[in-house]
Amino acid sequence: MKKILGYCDDWSAVAGGRVAFKIGAYGPDRFEAALVRVVCGDDHPDRGLFHEEEIDAPFNGWHAAAAQPIDAGSRVIVPEAPALAGLESFTVQAWVFPTTPLKGEQGLVTQWRDDPATGFALMIDACGAAALRVGDGAGRVAAVSTGAPLAERRWWLVSAWVDAASGRIGVRQTPGATPLERHEATESAADGVFAPAPAPLVFAAFTPPRVGGSARCFNGKIDRPRLCAGVRSTAEVDALASSPAPTSAHEGVVGAWDFAQGIGTREVRDTGPNALHGETVNAPSRGCKGHNWSGREQNFAHAPQEYGAIHFHEDDLHDAGWETSFAYDIPPDLPSGVYAARLRADGDQSYVPFFVRPPKGRTTAKLAFLASTLTYLAYANYHWHHHEPFAEATEGFWTTLEPTDVFLQAHPEFGLSTYDTHADGSGVRFSSRLRPILNMAPRTPLWSFNADTHILGWLESQGIAYDVLTDEDLHREGAAALAPYRAVLTGSHPEYYTTPMMEGLQRYIADRGRLVYLGGNGFIWRCAVSDAMPGLLELRRAEDGIRYRGEEPGEYHLELTGEYGGLWRRLGLPPQALVGVGTVAVGFDRSGFFRRTADSEDPRAAFIFEGIGRDEIIGDFGFVGGGAAGSEIDATDPVLGTPAHALVVARSEGHSANTLLCPDEIGFTNTVMDGVQNPRVRADMTFFETPGGGAVFSVGSIAWAGSLPHHGYDNTVSRLTLNVLRRFLDETPFDMPPT
């Protein structure tokens, strides 16, 4: 099990800037930290590739260690206010859509303290029924329950009341409209006394717990919570529940929250007279269908009155909130590169990576390596193979658990990846870098980050100088981040792109840039990030494409930007129109190899194959499936935008029957989808020039990077890549032929 873990406040750093590290221990009382430059993180004992360089830094040495808890689970917090402190008789209500009603106590609308028991809690009780608990702070606690479990994934109007004059309390649950089912309304009353708790008002949980406690978080959606003075009749409750905002016809309103306002931010707006505004915690999902969604509109911005729900989860996590253990003031002359704080304690070791670019306005090389940090984030703390019953059949190999996998199983509070499902079965839409991420580090499996270190190791072996940029740099600065560089090199899997990233890369290529796409399955999904929710990546997979979990119908628009989510292929910019190729097939058991095509004889491509024979097989070796063409592979498609003058200089062969066409390539049931029988299952190595004197070279294979280190970096894959990079770094403009 892991004993020492950490994260930093930002992945993208600038020489001369500062990075703060937050470290948590699981047992040890001290740990050793060291700054390392990451050259190659592949630590397989038979390959001899692992390479890190220790760098002098003020934080190197021993530090005191301490446990740092994580308070997972999303909720809304409304701060204490006089209007809440003055409650006597009142009615509280909300539309709720429970997704795990039988999991135990779950807060819906609460203002409660456990010690001493004070306040009120409208909740789901241990039996799955709507309930109210009250306490007076003097030892008297009362509860009342409807006694009827709420139906799962159905809307219910839940309300409760406290009558101070009579000393009575009550609770009611009323089913929403379900034309093909009949659920009964149920209510109950009991004696009970109440005193307001000196605590915030909380939606979807109880007051944040002390260390080791439980917030009793709710799984499901809440829409239109309301709080009114006095005991309200059923008709008054129904009238207020149907109104998006209170009016003069609704007397005694204390708070009326509209979750359709502030989507894409942490802000929760109260439309009532007391302005009891709140904030979300741990990024619940917004822009969600409410109790009254008609299906006539799919965009929350066009029908906000029908998208007034927030979906809360017990395993949501945005910011772990750990205290800073040490900070690093980056020297202005520290070379650009991939670095990490290496942590050691009691025989355990962890890394906290970060990326250093040169000071703004400066470059130290003609080449930029563009680290796919949003893709790293999409896969962060990947759990999919833990809970997917067909994982082995899907991936074509036995599931093996790393120590980090075992730790994550035991510690769900560390959050999920966008490939996972929440505890209630809904898909994960957010991934955060403000938490320890166990699979983005050296000495982890060869996927995304660590696979990309094969490219870094190759650059070092060839003596090629490079600066490092991140996806966040491209998102913030667009083409301006890339423009100073003669060429840009991608990693093995640049899958997730925001709109500013896509537009920035497109402008760079269209001007005079040279892009070397050394991967596969790139530029596939539109995602979103936002300064309003720093550290978060949002992904909503719309109707098409490879999917590890489904998306809720009617909720395809990204909360952070309002954009329609899904495949760039369906959004007007297929990867073929950007880099010449796009993903066509996936297979994880065995990788193929490349053979040169007739296009490789074109004089325009002569530089690519210097020192490589016409009949020489390229890449029938490698550390990802045993070949250079595999895992996820891309091919040309003129219909989707492959430039007419693009050359397919090599094409893959040798794929297995487990390498299958992607869903978006099929369109209809197809019994011949595999790499043995279907010639469409192929990777196309592609080259084309651009009008500004630039060019694009694409290998179309995730596995390519894993073949670079073979035989001490002396092989056809390495030689071909070096040929391309040398020409792309040459100042001589490319001459684009007539189209």
Residue 553 lies in a domain: no
Query: Residue 397: what pLDDT?
Result: 67
Query: Residue 216: what pLDDT?
Result: 94
Let me know: does 114 contact 286? Beta carbons within 8 Å: no
Query: Residue 670: what pLDDT?
Result: 62
Query: Residue 671: what pLDDT?
Result: 58
Smallest Cα–Cα separation from 111: which of 320, 273, 278, 315?
A: 278
User: What token pair was written down for 167?
Assistant: 């000393």
DSSP letters, 252-279, are: TEEEEEETTTTTTSSEEEE-STT---EE
Which of 400, 427, 445 terminates a domain? The answer is 445
Chain centroid to CA 4: 23
Query: Residue 14: what pLDDT?
Result: 97
CATH code for the domain of 87:
2.60.120.200
* Per-residue model confidence as pLDDT tens digits over 181-193: 888 999 999 999 9
Residues 6 or more apart whose CB falls under 8 angstroms from that of 432 comprise: 283, 317, 318, 319, 377, 380, 415, 535, 536, 537
The answer to whether residues 8 and 61 belong to one domain is: yes
Q: Rounded mean pLDDT of 147-171?
A: 97
* Per-residue model confidence as pLDDT tens digits over 570-590: 999 999 999 999 999 999 999
Which of 312, 339, 372 terminates a domain? The answer is 312
Beta strands in 294-360 (DSSP E): 309-312, 326-329, 337-345, 348-357
Which of 404, 423, 445 terminates a domain? The answer is 445
Q: Which stretch of 174-183, 266-275, 456-465, 556-565 has the lowest confidence by average pLDDT?
A: 174-183
Angle at 579 between CA 573 and CA 580, to 5 degrees: 95
Instruction: Compute how many other C-beta atoms are within 10 angstroms of the C-beta atom of residue 488.
Output: 25
* Per-residue model confidence as pLDDT tens digits over 284-326: 999 999 999 999 999 999 999 999 999 999 999 999 999 999 9
* Per-residue model confidence as pLDDT tens digits over 318-376: 999 999 999 999 999 999 999 999 999 999 999 999 999 999 889 999 999 999 999 99
Amino acid 697 reads F
Query: Residue 207: what pLDDT?
Result: 82
Query: Residue 339: what pLDDT?
Result: 98
The residues that bridge with 246 in the sheet, in sequence order, are none
Smallest Cα–Cα separation from 517: which of 373, 624, 372?
A: 372
Residue 518 lies in a domain: yes
Residues 6 or more apart whose CB falls under 8 angstroms from that of 637 comprise: 574, 576, 582, 584
Rounded to whole angstroms, how far apart are CA atoms 57 and 60? 6
* CA-CA-CA-CA dihedral for 693, 618, 719, 574, to nearest 10: 30
Residue 317 lies in a domain: no
User: What token pair was written down for 290?
Assistant: 């409410």
Query: What percent of the chain lies above the pLDDT cut of 90?
Result: 86
Amino acid 671 reads T
Confidence of residue 232 (pLDDT cuts 50, 70, 90): very high
Residue carrying the six token digits 């989808």: 673
Q: 668 versus 242: which is more confidently predicted? A: 242
3-class DSSP assignment, residue 533 = coil
The answer to whether residues 636 and 725 belong to one domain is: yes
Range of the domain at 403: 1-68+326-362+380-445
Q: Rounded mean pLDDT of 637-641?
A: 97
User: What token pair was written down for 508?
Assistant: 């760079």
Given a cut of 70, whether residue 672 has pLDDT beyond it is: no
Query: Residue 512: what pLDDT?
Result: 92
Residue 650 lies in a domain: yes
Backbone angles phi, psi at 387, to 5 degrees: -115, -10
Residue 562 lies in a domain: no
Q: Rounded mean pLDDT of 30-45?
A: 97
pTM assigned to the model: 0.96
The answer to whether residues 453 and 474 belong to one domain is: yes
Outline where 523-673 has alpha helix (H): 576-579
The answer to whether residues 517 and 401 belong to one domain is: no
The residues that bridge with 19 in the sheet, in sequence order, are 328
Backbone angles phi, psi at 276, to 5 degrees: -85, 65
The answer to whether residues 434 and 452 belong to one domain is: no
The answer to whether residues 455 and 420 belong to one domain is: no
**Beta strand 684-689 with 695-698: parallel, antiparallel or unpaired?**
antiparallel
Residue 236 lies in a domain: yes
The answer to whether residues 244 and 280 belong to one domain is: yes
3-class DSSP assignment, residue 413 = helix
Rounded to whole angstroms, how far apart are CA atoms 385 and 409? 11
DSSP annotation of 179 reads T
The residues that bridge with 515 in the sheet, in sequence order, are 488, 696
The answer to whether residues 184 and 306 belong to one domain is: yes
The chain-wide mean pLDDT, for the chain, equals 94
Q: Is 344 exposed, middle or buried (0-12, 13-18, 19+ CB in 10 A)?
A: middle
Residue 632 lies in a domain: yes
* Per-residue model confidence as pLDDT tens digits over 237-290: 999 998 877 765 678 999 999 999 999 999 999 999 999 999 999 999 999 999
Let me know: does 119 contact 144? Beta carbons within 8 Å: no
Residue 4 lies in a domain: yes
Given a cut of 60, whether residue 210 has pLDDT beyond it is: no
Confidence of residue 394 (pLDDT cuts 50, 70, 90): low
* Per-residue model confidence as pLDDT tens digits over 476-494: 999 999 999 999 999 999 9
Let me know: does 246 contact 225? Beta carbons within 8 Å: no
> Helix, strand, coil proportions of the chain in percent (round to 5)?
15, 30, 50
The answer to whether residues 84 and 34 belong to one domain is: no
Rounded to whole angstroms, how far apart are CA atoms 204 and 199? 15
Rg (CA), the chain: 28
Q: What's the number of domains the chain is made of?
A: 3
Backbone angles phi, psi at 404, to 5 degrees: -65, -35
Instruction: Compute how many other C-beta atoms are within 10 angstroms of the C-beta atom of residue 737.
Output: 12
The answer to whether residues 61 and 80 belong to one domain is: no
Confidence of residue 213 (pLDDT cuts 50, 70, 90): low
CATH code for the domain of 718:
3.40.50
DSSP letters, 471-515, are: HHHHHHHTHHHHTT-SEEEE-S---EE-HHHHHHHHHHHHHT-EE
The answer to whether residues 224 and 343 belong to one domain is: no
The answer to whether residues 414 and 477 belong to one domain is: no
Given a cut of 90, whether residue 662 has pLDDT beyond it is: no
* Per-residue model confidence as pLDDT tens digits over 511-541: 999 999 999 999 999 999 999 999 999 999 9
Query: Residue 661: in which H helix or E strand, if any?
Result: strand 660-661
For the chain, counts of helices (H) and of strands (E): 14, 40
Rounded to whole angstroms, how far apart are CA atoms 317 and 417? 11
Smallest Cα–Cα separation from 692: which of 521, 507, 478, 474?
A: 507
User: What token pair was written down for 436?
Assistant: 């320890």
